[in-house]
Structure 1
């Protein structure tokens, strides 16, 4: 095993909470509400994170390396500097925040279906299951999916129950597991008159060591899309979503409809958009 990978798998959940600078995180996401382990706080803090911190894979594309999943490094990158991250970074940080507030959090792994065209992908997406005292179901929380139909707020793990946050619609559906094990859950988003699968998961717990392996594969494997192409995503407080995939900019309204799509041919414009539209300060010497 690579030595850098070994260093990423050591911390457990308790260590992550001990290393957290909660005040700095809350300042970064502009949160001044109550620090209570209830559903209202969970939903509001989830939305504050999603609409403040961008999704990006610059470490893999520009630096050619896997980002560190050590909480101190994630905090330095996402909280102290004008950077974003992808699912492992966002959800590792958010899980530590929730645990510090008194929530019980279980890490899960999903198979992304968005853009898969029916193909079965490996379980490489990190998502979270959050237990809230007094609530009949746990909540699915995911501040690291990034996509235009991802979650703005955490939603109850209840099949078929539609949630509407602003103009963004989501729901969870259940599918039988062909092996006869626990049913799969599928997160869906609604756009252009239809429900679209985002990713599928079950409730098997995953540990930091599991995400370290996934992170290394996604960031360094030569066939990984996150190694070969730039991905930037950001959702505004009003729910508008901006994405750069490769060299294509797509702007999606809060209801999931595409309002703009164009190719970016000028490097200077692309770097300018990173700062202005995505609130990212690129690493020194970034060449795209």
Structure 2
């Protein structure tokens, strides 16, 4: 399992904001929170190539900065994205609570899914409402903007529709469910409670998700990028492009390893590590 120690290297907000292309205000307010979240999503792709290569990615902030900020031609999955994003928000003066969630998309029973997703709760000075924020959910129903922690209210975020609802309570804490609107109605994305989790908790979850042979992230490439006009997804050998303007979808199968590497480089801005087999046999 990954070492849970942390370096004390300072976090560079300047380098992070340059990486995501944010030139706006640096205030702990709703406009900055939303702007930085969307800029991050458009700049840094979601990918699981470390896990596909058989190792859990480091969650050390210095390592994340080297890979996602200075590396520029790599991305990461939820623990990497949201650990980095949390550090940026805290540097901006935002109070952050780190959460875990059950990914329930397609599940018949929420309790059958373990807590394997990292999300964040952001609190702004002078604003009584906390916000659910998330730059690391690898799905078409992911949040593109902060959503106030308010039940049964629809929010439109950069072209997508979301709402939070309560699930039947099974313990002392309320369970919140993030839903996204799709062609066939509202779909549950993930369920969470708001108690805080610590870095050591994510080390365990990260190791499990990256190295368990039954984890989809350890078996096939799963990569997504949010472009201004489309959502791109590479799932195994299947490239899917969902166009923002009209929702039309184009899909094709990649022919071989060389094409997979070329698509990652040209469409997702990712240089796959040398020696990594992307498509398997």
Work out whether the TM-score is over 0.5: yes
- Residue by residue over 1:207-235, the C-alpha shift from the partner in whole angstroms, topping out at 9 and shown as x without a partner, is 00000000000000111111111100111
* Structure 2 CA distance for partners of 1:256 and 1:153, relative to 1, 3 Å: farther
* Structure 2 CA distance for partners of 1:59 and 1:50, relative to 1, 3 Å: same
Instruction: Tell me the equivalent position of 1:137.
Output: 129
Long gaps (5+) in structure 2? none
Instruction: Tell me the equivalent position of 2:78.
Output: 87
Q: Output aligned runs, 1:39-188, within 5 Å.
A: 39-61=30-52, 63-81=53-71, 82-118=73-109, 120-179=112-171, 181-188=172-179
Instruction: Tell me the equivalent position of 2:200.
Output: 209
> Number of paired residues?
276
Give, in angstroms, the shift of residue 256 of structure 1.
8.8
CA RMSD of aligned residues (A): 1.7
Q: Output aligned runs, 1:264-283, within 5 Å.
A: 264-283=254-273
Contact in 1 for aligned 2:96/2:122 (Cα 8 Å): yes
1:55 alignment partner, SS class: coil
Contact in 2 for aligned 1:83/1:280 (Cα 8 Å): yes
Cα distance in structure 2, aligned partners of 1:137 and 1:176:
22
Cα distance in structure 1, aligned partners of 2:58 and 2:5:
12
| Runs of 4+ with >4 A deviation | none
Cα distance in structure 1, aligned partners of 2:200 and 2:245:
37
2:145 alignment partner, SS class: coil
Contact in 2 for aligned 1:160/1:171 (Cα 8 Å): yes
TM-score by length of 2: 0.93
- Residue by residue over 1:153-195, the C-alpha shift from the partner in whole angstroms, topping out at 9 and shown as x without a partner, is 111111122111232111111122123x222111111110401
